[in-house]
């Protein structure tokens, strides 16, 4: 019987294992997970009497792959209870204008938007008349945005929305690997704003942008493990090395070695580099170059009677270095739950490229700073009834300029039978990770079928 070892039990590894078994229930599949629970960043935290998501709280619905996976697993999906969001300004929270991919989609609303100066608005509107200069090669997202909508609209509107998804700096992220649509928009429409207007029209009535399993995103890995069979998922078992054994491989762990016809490395890329350093040094060299940023989630539960202190919106984003957080989700508005009662529940995101030093502070100081800033903006008390900080060290891969070439170089360096998958490569969100895992499972199946045929011929 052919065997596959999947290293890493996050959503990438678990989905790969699930898809492999779907294709061939007889295949021997083992998932090795270093932590004492599967799920990776898809996990929950307990605060007051509540269990809420500690990492992602939703995923994109318009990329179908995670939605389809949830349907297959019988997970019911919830739609957000609020729409619209705010942006942090020196004079308080200001509603975001209509956007598509972070680009203003309504010229009238942009002209009236109070968070930009007259010069800033003029700079943004120049996009409508400025000559297009589409680039043949990858370029920094910031270079494209600044060229089209100017510095002020980039820094005060688009960067907090787009950079925030990567906890990244738009001047460092590459367009091709993050928002290739924007390069296509410049090429096709000659204007990002005109393209955003068209995209927004086309998407109207298309349903919510984000969804989540009713019980929380952390329900997804739980359902995957149930479908895979928990005996196939070995927690507290970190792999230490992958070595060749003729045409096959051996995965080393502290508990012993596992032979495998195929190995899927579904860890963060820096861990993949360590596992492959001696066996595939070329791949490890490229893997080492994918930079990660550390972040943290601060969860706050306020006392009874505070629910109405939150505006009817999903939350707000913060332009770089304006506050000790990069964004906040009004959880009790976005994902209302009877368990919240009449309490305001907020999750704040702390730390991003260029502001990781905020995380050097002690948990209490981070909570204090975040809560004080919230109380200055909203009619909330200066202290929440319960609070917790979940730190996510080296959690957000940064797709720099040329990232996709680096990923191709990694894939080209890997020998037949070793695969990498996860959010370090071709999409940081859950939906893209599920798509990538589905694709890699197909490639593993083809590889394993090939090794069986070769054995029969011998």
Q: Which stretch binds ligand FAD (CB under 6 A): 39-47, 93-101, 114-122, 305-313?
A: 39-47
Closer Cβ to ligand FAD, 191 or 295, answer by number: 295
**17, 21, 34, 448: residue in contact with ligand FAD (rule CB under 6 A):** 34
Report if residue 294 touches ligand FAD, rule: CB under 6 A. Answer: no
For the CB of residue 290, give the shortest distance to ligand FAD in the complex, in Å: 12
CB 1 within 8 Å of CB 452 = no
Residue 9 contacts ligand FAD per CB under 6 A: yes
| Site track for ligand FAD across 354-393, x = CB under 6 A | --------------------------------------x-
Shortest separation between residue 122's beta carbon and ligand FAD, angstroms? 34
Q: Which one of 3, 22, 24, 35 is in contact with ligand FAD (CB under 6 A)?
A: 35
Q: CA angle at residue 217 from 342 to 399, to 5 degrees?
A: 120
Residue of 433, 438, 444, 448 that binds ligand FAD (CB under 6 A): 433
Rounded to an integer, what distance in angstroms lies between the CA atom of residue 297 and that of residue 50?
Answer: 16
Query: Binding residue for ligand FAD (CB under 6 A) from 80, 97, 324, 422?
Result: 422
8 is a contact residue toward ligand FAD (CB under 6 A): yes
β-pair type (315-317, 86-89): parallel
Is residue 10 a contact residue for ligand FAD (CB under 6 A)? yes
* Range 42-71, binding ligand FAD (CB under 6 A): 42, 55-59
- Cα first-last separation, the chain: 16
DSSP string, 255-290: TEEEEESEEEE-S-HHHHHHHHTTT-HHHHHHHHTS
- Tell me which of 17, 103, 144, 271 binds ligand FAD, using CB under 6 A: 271
**Antiparallel, parallel or unpaired: β 248-253 and 256-260:** antiparallel
Give the three-state DSSP class for 245. strand
Asked if 8 contacts 266 with a C-beta cutoff of 8 angstroms, the reply is yes
Examine residue 279 and tell whether it contacts ligand FAD (CB under 6 A): no
Region of 10-18, 133-141, 367-375, 411-419 interacting with ligand FAD (CB under 6 A): 10-18
What's the alpha-carbon Rg for the chain, to the nearest Å? 23
Q: What is the DSSP string of 203-238?
A: HTTS--SEEEETT-TTHHHHHHHHHH-GGGEETT--
> In whole angstroms, how close is the CB of 32 to ligand FAD at the nearest point?
5
CB 10 within 8 A of CB 422: yes
Alpha helices in 312-362 (DSSP H): 331-334
**In this complex, which beta carbon is closest to ligand FAD, that of residue 116 or of residue 239?**
239
Q: Give 40 or 400: the residue with its C-beta nearer to ligand FAD.
A: 40
Give the nearest distance from C-beta 109 to ligand FAD in angstroms.
26
- Assign residue 57 a region (left: φ > 0; alpha: ψ between -120 and 50; beta: otherwise): alpha
Q: Which of 4, 7, 170, 348 binds ligand FAD (CB under 6 A)?
A: 7
Reduced to 3 states (helix: H, G, I; strand: E, B; else coil), residue 152 is helix
297 binds ligand FAD (CB under 6 A): yes
Spatial contact of 402 and 138, defined as CB atoms under 8 Å apart = yes
* Residues of the shown chain interacting with ligand FAD in the complex, contacts defined by CB under 6 A: 7-13, 32-35, 40-42, 55-59, 238-239, 266-268, 271, 275, 295, 297, 392, 395-396, 422-423, 428-430, 433
């Amino acid at each position: 019987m052919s065997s596959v070892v999947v290293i890493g039990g996050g959503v990438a590894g678990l989905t790969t294992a699930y898809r492999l078994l779907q294709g061939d229930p007889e295949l021997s599949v083992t998932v090795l997970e270093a932590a004492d629970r599967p799920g990776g960043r898809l996990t929950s935290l307990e605060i007051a009497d509540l269990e809420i998501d500690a990492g992602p709280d939703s995923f994109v619905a318009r990329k179908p792959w995670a939605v389809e996976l949830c349907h297959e697993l019988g997970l019911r999906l919830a739609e957000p209870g609020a729409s619209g969001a705010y942006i942090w300004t020196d004079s308080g929270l200001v509603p975001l204008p209509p956007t598509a991919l972070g680009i203003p989609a309504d010229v009238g609303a942009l002209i009236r938007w109070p968070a930009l100066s007259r010069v800033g608005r003029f700079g943004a509107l120049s996009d409508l008349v400025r000559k297009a200069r589409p680039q043949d090669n990858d370029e920094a997202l910031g270079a494209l945005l600044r060229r089209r909508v100017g510095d002020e609209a980039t820094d005060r509107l688009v960067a907090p929305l787009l950079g925030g998804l990567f906890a990244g700096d738009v001047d460092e992220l590459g367009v091709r690997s993050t928002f290739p649509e924007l390069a296509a928009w410049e090429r096709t429409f000659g204007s990002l704003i005109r393209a955003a207007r068209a995209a927004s029209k086309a998407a109207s009535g298309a349903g919510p942008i984000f969804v989540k399993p009713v019980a929380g995103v952390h329900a997804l890995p739980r359902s995957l493990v149930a479908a895979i069979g928990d005996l196939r998922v070995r927690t507290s078992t970190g792999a230490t090395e992958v070595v060749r054994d003729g045409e096959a491989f051996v995965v080393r762990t502290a508990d012993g070695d596992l032979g495998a016809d195929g190995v899927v490395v579904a860890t963060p890329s820096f861990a993949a580099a360590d596992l492959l350093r001696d066996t595939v040094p070329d791949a490890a060299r490229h893997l080492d170059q994918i930079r990660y940023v550390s972040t943290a989630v601060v969860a706050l539960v306020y006392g009874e009677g505070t629910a109405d202190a939150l505006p009817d919106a999903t939350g707000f984003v913060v332009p770089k270095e304006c506050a000790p957080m990069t964004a906040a989700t009004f959880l009790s508005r976005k994902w209302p739950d009877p368990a919240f009662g009449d309490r305001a529940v907020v999750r704040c995101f702390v730390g991003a490229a260029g502001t990781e030093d905020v995380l050097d502070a002690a948990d209490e100081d981070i909570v204090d700073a975040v809560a004080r800033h919230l109380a200055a903006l909203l009619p909330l008390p200066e202290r929440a009834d319960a609070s917790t900080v979940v730190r996510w060290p080296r959690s957000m891969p940064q797709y720099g300029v040329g990232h996709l070439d680096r990923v191709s170089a990694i894939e080209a360096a890997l020998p037949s039978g070793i695969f990498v998958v996860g959010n370090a490569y071709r999409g940081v969100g859950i939906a893209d990770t599920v798509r990538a895992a589905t694709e890699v499972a197909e490639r593993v199946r083809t590889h394993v079928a090939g090794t069986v045929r070769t054995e029969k011929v011998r």
